[in-house]
Every structure is written in C-alpha cells, then in structure tokens.
Amino acid sequence: MKLLVTRRMTPRAERAISSRFEAEFRDETAGLTPDQAAAALREYDYIMPTLGDRFTAEAFQGAPLRCRMLGNFGAGYNHIDVAAARAAGVTVSNTPDVVTDPTADIALTLILMTARRASLGERILRAGEWRGWQPTQLLGSHVSGKTVGIIGMGRIGKAIARRCHFGFDMRVVFFNRSPVSALDFPAEQIDTLHDMLGQSDFVVVAVPGGAGTRHLIGAEELNRLGAQGFIINIARGDVIDEAALIDALRDNRIAGAGLDVYEREPLVPDELTALDNVTLLPHLGTATEEARTAMAMRALDNLIAVSEGRAAPDEIA
C-alpha cells in the first residue's frame, strides 16, 4: 500500500510510518498545488497531507481515484474540501488533542512577548543599539490581572484560558458561537464579539479556519479593541484582515499584535515586518519534537485503522 507524506517528519515518526506503509516522504517546502493534489489522489492508496496542501474540490474531480484516505497531519483541515472528498469516497481524518498544549503555550508566548515588547528589545540588543538600562526603556504592559478575551472556546481556547487564569490571575471572557458550560475555571461567555472586544485587554483568536471565519476580525473589530488592546492570532492567518491590522498598528489604534500565522503565508508583508508594535513568529504553534511526532503518530493510527478495514478514530464527519 503506497502512502504519500507531503512533508518530512521527525525521524521517529518516519521510522514508524515506514514500518507500516510503502511510504514516500515529499522533500519540499511548498505545499501541493491543486494539480499535484489531483495527481497524488490517483497515484497513492493513502496520503498524509500537511498545512498548505491544496486538496480543493477540483482535485477530486475527473478520473477515478486510487486514494482511500487523507490522514491529515494537524487539527485544522481548511486546506481540504471535506465534502468533495466524501463525495469521491475518500475518508478524511485529523489530529485533535495532541496540538492543544503546544499551541496554547505559543499563545502565552505571544501575549508575554507582545505586552513586554520583548521582540523589539531583542532586535535593539542584537543590532548593538542598546545604551543601557533606563527607567523609561521599552515600557510595556502588565499581563497579570488583566482581562483576556478568547475568540473560540474549543480545546485550544480552553487551554489558553486556563493558563491565563491560573498562571496570571487574568479575568477570562470569551465569545463562542454556541453555549459553553462545565468549565473548570471562572469565565464569562459574552453574547457578541463586539461586546467581548470592548471588555478585553488581550484578545486571542482560536477559531478554526475556513470561509466561515475569514476576516472575522476587520477594521471595525480592531477599533472596538481600542488603543490599549492587544490581539494575538494562533488560529489561521486569514481570520484577521491583514491590511486592516497593519493600518490599526501603524496608526496606534491598537496597542500591539502577536502573530504566529499570516493571511498569505509564507508571505509576510513588508509593512508588517517594519512595525515595532507587533511580534512575528514563523508558524511555531506545534513546533516541538514531542508534538510533531505525536501528530504524525495520531495521523498514522487513523491510516492504519482504515487500511485494516476499521473506522478512522478521528474521521471528520
């Protein structure tokens, strides 16, 4: 059974994958184009896609498919047209749970770096421009005791909120499209995004990507956050209107931003990198050896299940 893995994996994961499948690991940095995805669906029995592979509706159309399953490497799957896959008889699974803690940790990293202007401070130091300690040097914002607003109270949103409450004694408010209950920490669900933004010092975007959340945060929402507010995005880049964000940062209509994802990544606009009130990370959300290996093993478990005639544990309905 031939398996295509669209990116290189950790050595431990590659050994495990190769022990179960005739595996080919694609040694490329760019994701599959729709044409390449279409060709792969006709050449391989199974595929382990990664972020950036464009399994669009068109990729599933035309000649009969050989592929039985896409065992996605990652929790997010907005790069796969699941409805088109299902119509073509292709099972799709993802890797929930294992991404939760490392992604939540990155959110806290961005909150702290952005509030305390750590990214700018490091750039000044590395450039040899630091002239010594001063009482007014790089004044930032407290994190402890402030209010954090979470947009999307799923697994990752809850993990972020828990860290903020127990670690930094922050008040937690959140906006979620459906009611959320049985939380193990104090938090208040706010009925509208507009009202939640107005109550928050820090806002963390933790919603799934896709057409339903594209540009959820635009100029109006950023204005509502206000000049003392910080926005953090660890979800998908296009959840925030990047042009509107650049304008808000440039005009100091918000205090700052911390970004791990970008609207057209790996392209990051020069206008964004030139700003001093934004912290920029290169999509590090799950970038630990433990997490990336666990993600691959979770995807592998799903692929093995289908290859053995069982249901994928993490099949996307």
Concerning whether 126 is annotated as a catalytic residue, the answer is no
Is the same domain home to 274 and 127?
Answer: yes
Residue 67 lies in a domain: yes
pLDDT tens over the chain, length 317 residues: 999 999 999 999 999 999 999 999 999 888 999 999 999 999 999 999 999 999 999 999 988 899 999 999 999 999 999 999 999 999 999 999 999 999 999 999 999 999 999 999 999 999 999 999 999 999 999 999 999 999 999 999 999 999 999 999 999 999 999 999 889 999 999 999 999 999 999 999 999 988 899 999 999 999 999 999 999 999 999 999 999 999 999 999 999 999 999 999 999 999 999 999 999 999 999 999 999 999 999 999 999 999 999 999 999 98
Longest dimension (CA), the chain: 69
The active-site residue, picked from 236, 263, 292, 298, is 236
Is the same domain home to 110 and 247?
Answer: yes
Residue 252 lies in a domain: yes
Residue 82 lies in a domain: yes
278: which strand partners?
Answer: 257
Q: What is the CATH number of the domain that holds 141?
A: 3.40.50.720
Residue 132 lies in a domain: yes
Residue 163 lies in a domain: yes
Backbone angles phi, psi at 76, to 5 degrees: -75, 145
Is the same domain home to 272 and 130?
Answer: yes
Is the same domain home to 104 and 27?
Answer: no
Q: Which of 296, 276, 4 is nearest to 123 (CA)?
A: 276
- 270 secondary structure, DSSP code: H
The active-site residue, picked from 24, 43, 58, 265, is 265
Is the same domain home to 194 and 58?
Answer: no
How many alpha carbons fall within 13 Å on the CB side of residue 130? 13
Q: Residue 178 sits in which domain range?
A: 100-280
Can you give the length of the chain in residues?
Answer: 317
For 23, the enclosing helix (H) or strand (E) is strand 22-25
Is the same domain home to 149 and 259?
Answer: yes
Residue 314 lies in a domain: no
The active-site residue, picked from 8, 20, 162, 283, is 283
Concerning whether 131 is annotated as a catalytic residue, the answer is no
Is the same domain home to 181 and 196?
Answer: yes
Is the same domain home to 121 and 89?
Answer: no
Residue 313 lies in a domain: no
Direct distance between the N- and C-terminal alpha carbons of the chain, in angstroms, rounded to an integer: 25
How far from 77 is each of 49, 72, 135, 316, CA to CA, in Å?
Answer: 9, 7, 47, 9
Is the same domain home to 246 and 274?
Answer: yes
Is the same domain home to 9 and 74?
Answer: yes
Q: How many domains does the chain have?
A: 2
Is the same domain home to 24 and 146?
Answer: no
Concerning whether 194 is annotated as a catalytic residue, the answer is no
Is the same domain home to 64 and 190?
Answer: no
